A and B are shown apart, each in its own frame.
Chain A
Amino acid sequence: MSALKSYRVLELADGVAGEYCGKLLADFGADVVKLEAPGGSATRRMGPFAKQGPAGETSALFAYLNTNKRSVAFDVTSEEGRATLAKLLDRVDVVIDDHADGWLAAVGLDPATIETRHPHLVLCAITPYGWSAPDERRHAQDLNVFHASGWGFHTPSGAQPDQVPLKGAGRFMVSYEAGLDTALCIAAALVDRQATGLGRIIDVSKQAVMASRADYVLAQMVAGDMNVGTHRTAYDLHGPAGIFECRDGYAYLWMSAPAHWEALGKLMGHPDWMKDFAPNWLERDCTPERVALCRQHVSAWLKTQEKERVATEAQKLGLTMVAANDASDLKASPQYAFRQYFARLEHPVLGALDYPTVPYRLSATPAALRAPAPSLGQHTHEVLAS
């Protein structure tokens, strides 16, 4: 038994945001039918790709985002396609879309009338700025949303005014975040639907999702409790915390309190330079000059250390230091192995791969990878004939 078993979801999305949302539901057991255009979802044409295999079936991105789903392929923009879509709507509980604002209406699913015609339907759309965005926000990729939400301008922390703002980690952070909030809204709407039989129309803005992820700062700013400004460091916490190079990679060191300073002294064997700092300087005397000096000494020392070993020692002393991991570290992590964060799944083209799973373990209704992503239109006959 899985948490969302027996719910029927029609996924019209062909971007990462909608597909990730559908995946989160499918991995919890929902029956997700992915409706693809005859040429296949856009994500089928994005890498990484297997070296060999039929066109449209070699993308590991698609394979990752579409586990446990079924694929139906037809042209939803044709008259016949729209009629088929209309019939499918009577048989599903949820629709997920992430096309541009206006696309749903073009295929006969105008959000303004869908509630009257299909009152039981939970219809959820993800767009860069939500419906009714102004004209100067019609075209956006994840990078643009990252910047429109405030994260771009404030990345990295501690940036100088002329330093180029950086994208977030990986290619699709913004889409994953938006897909996650959308899955939350859908799961909540389904709770209500069990009681009332009524669906919902849900309009998720990627920009607002990303802004919401900085709510601790933004809510204080909009309330007038924290200074706003045109400076790059407006979100920052000051102090010597940061990423440091080690002999075999990098580690992140957090320091904000006298206890951390004391622990650092023990870890480093109380070097002479530390004597020039007051024991409580992190709280009372944390000037940019001191921060720079502290970082300089800590940098020089950490370059001689191994990241895992020094982080473990630091943790024992009550100093918050961790290794900065890359994909190969994660694969080798004993913690991830213990918690089975990776799950092996056999895909007809990609073969057996270890897939990253989900960050939650449910004791009664866990998420699970049961089936690899479908080939294009693999279930067209079975779904349309049933």
Chain B
Amino acid sequence: MSTGKRGGPLQGVRVVELTKVWAGPYVGKLLAQLGAEVIRIESRGSLDVTRTYGVKDIDDAPGFQSVNAQKLSVQIDMKTPEGIRLILDLLAKSDIVVENLRPGAVKRLGLGYEAVRAVNPKIVFVSMGMYGNTGPLSYQTGYAPCFAALGGLSLLVGPEDGAPTGMNVRYADSTFGAYAAFAATAALNHQRRTGEGQFVDVSAVESMTSMIGDTVIDHALTGTVHRWDGNRHPDMAPHGAYPCRDGAWISIAVASDSAWSALCRVMGLPTLAQDPRWSTLADRQAHLRALDEHVAAWTTQQDADEATAALQQAGVAAAKSQNSVDLVADAHLWSRGFFQEVADRNGKTKSTTGPAWTMSRPARLADAAPKLGEHNAYVLGDILGLSDAEQRRLSESKITW
């Protein structure tokens, strides 16, 4: 049962989510993976789009399932005063609340930081916005690729002799969520030591810029404005993805002259290592195109797995460029529990993604994402202490709907 003890460093920590789509739910997902009890507040009147868009069964919606494993769901209508009172009652008994609704929405609902702090001065209130809560542009909203474009990432990705392409369209939401989860947990340390809660304001665009901090400080120091440059890396050559015989791609990154010699040996071209055109990193950078052609001429004669094994054996950093079939079949990711099975309320098991770490005394993950309102009785009865009759009345009047 989801409400039992699962262990993990955040066992006993209660988190409430007023979130939508991916970035906000990812915060709760990480905290749940660390042992927190995470409760999503939902209602039929404003269902998360991931429960509904292109979906037959809101209780088995693939997108929702992917970022809400191990969470609890309670139905409370945020558009009624009585619903707001119930939410405030719940927040009075919680440690962290996470919201990523539209700018200003929680305040309009009567769930802004001041209102919540009035019922619980210990609360860590995490507010997520594209640009954060303050500043001249904080009213603007956008989707993940907008965060990446605004934050400076998109213009750093693209082929050397073409237009910028940016990262894959899926990048940004989860990174934003991870920063919010870290900031919340840091604030929780302070709360546990002093009893003081606080407001935590997280910016998606700043989260992106933080992924290129060194590029930004380069600009501060030297004035350099970096642009998309294929697979170039100032400290490594070769550095890139190369086509293989089996239609796959292999990534190879050579960070030292000795790795370069090793690569040449594996390619069966030991004399290449002595070629003065390529003996140092600077030489290799200067003749990069010809260098890449040499490497590709070899990789196209190999299958990606064979080439990877041979290069690894010689101490060269190489890895297959994994497609989605490779990923879901990656035995190492399974053995570490990154992929694992959870069970839904009917005992039906399904595979999902777990934590990126292993740790001593970890939190147990067992439950699939909740059915809408699956934990109404636990939240309203066990946590809030409402009688069965009172819960029935709330349900019949569609406050908990």
Asked whether A and B interact, the reply is yes
Q: Give residues of chain B (210-246) contacting chain A, Cβ–Cβ below 8 Å.
A: 210-222, 224-227, 230-231, 233-236, 239-241, 243
* B166:A252 contact, CB within 8 angstroms: yes
- Counting chain A residues whose Cβ lies within 8 A of the other chain, the interface size class is 35 or more
Give the one of A65, A144, A214, A323 with max B CB within 10 A: A144
B85 contacts A by Cβ under 8 Å: no
B182 touches A330 (CB 8 A): no
Cβ of B165 < 8 Å from any Cβ of A?
yes
A222-B353 contact, Cβ under 8 Å, with A205-B336, A208-B333, A350-B221:
yes
Residue contact B182 to A187, C-beta cutoff 8 Å: yes
The interface bits of chain B over 292-329 (1 if a CB of A lies within 8 angstroms of the residue's CB, else 0) are 00000000000001001101100111111111111110
Taking CB as reference atom, which chain A residue is nearest B202?
Answer: A360
- Give chain A residues whose Cβ lies under 8 Å from the Cβ of B140: 315, 322
Verify B9–A189 contact, CB threshold 8 A.
yes
Docked-complex contact B165 and A216, CB < 8 angstroms = no
In the complex, chain A residues 25-62 whose Cβ is within 8 Å of any chain B Cβ:
28, 46-48, 50, 60-61
- With the chains together, A214 CA to B359 CA distance in Å? 22
Q: Is A382 an interface residue (CB 8 A)?
A: no
Extra 18 A-B pairs, beta carbons < 8 Å, given A139-B318, A150-B324: A61-B217, A132-B335, A147-B320, A157-B165, A169-B154, A180-B179, A181-B357, A191-B10, A195-B12, A200-B361, A202-B360, A212-B356, A235-B169, A243-B164, A243-B166, A322-B149, A359-B206, A359-B207
Interface contact A211-B353, CB-CB below 8 Å: yes
Say yes or no: A216 contacts B174, CB within 8 Å: yes
Contact segment of B104-112, B248-256, B382-390, B392-400: B248-256
A162→B153 CA distance, assembly (Å): 24
* Inter-chain contact A222/B328, CB cutoff 8 Å: yes
- Does chain B have a CB within 8 A of A386? no
B345 to chain A, nearest CB (A): 16
Q: Is A81 an interface residue (CB 8 A)?
A: no
Task: For residue A10, give the distance in angstroms from its CB to the closest CB of chain B.
Answer: 18
Q: With A166-B230, A335-B131, A359-B207 given, is the CB distance from A153 to B225 under 8 Å?
A: no
Interface majority SS on B: helix, strand, loop or mixed? mixed
Q: Are B131 and A180 in contact (CB under 8 A)?
A: no
* Residue in contact with A216 in the complex, picked from B12, B22, B138, B200, CB distance below 8 Å: B22
Contact A185 B359, beta carbon cutoff 8 Å? yes
Sample 7 A-B pairs with CB under 8 A, ordered by A number.
Answer: A48-B217, A152-B322, A164-B241, A167-B157, A208-B333, A208-B357, A329-B152
Q: Which of B62, B173, B211, B331 has the most CB of A within 10 A?
A: B211
Which has the most chain A C-beta neighbours within 10 Å: B34, B176, B204? Answer: B34
Give A20's nearest chain B residue, CB to CB.
B213
The distance in angstroms between the C-alpha atoms of A245 and B154, with both chains bound, is 12
Within the complex, which residue of B30, B69, B189, B309 is in contact with A190, where a contact is CB–CB below 8 Å? B189
Inter-chain contacts of B317 with A (CB < 8 A):
139-141, 143-144
Partner of A362, one of B154, B155, B183: B183
A144 and B357 in contact, given A169-B157, A254-B143, A339-B135 (Cβ under 8 angstroms):
no
The reply to whether the CB of A363 lies closer than 8 angstroms to some CB of chain B is yes
Q: Which of A170, A177, A180 contacts B156 (CB 8 A)?
A: A170
Inter-chain contact A219/B167, CB cutoff 8 Å: no
Interface members, chain B 274-306 (any A CB < 8 Å):
305
Residue among A130, A172, A222, A360 making CB contact with B339, cutoff 8 Å: A222
Residue contact A358 to B324, C-beta cutoff 8 Å: no
Residues 266-303 of A contacting B (Cβ, < 8 Å): none
With A165-B241, A204-B357, A326-B227 known as contacts, the answer to whether A3 contacts B217 (CB < 8 A) is no
Provide the residues of chain B in CB contact with A3, threshold 8 Å: 186-187, 189-190
Min CB gap A333→B, angstroms: 8
| Docked-complex contact A215 and B190, CB < 8 angstroms | no
CA distance A149 to B205 in the complex (A): 23
CB distance A230 to B247 under 8 Å?
yes
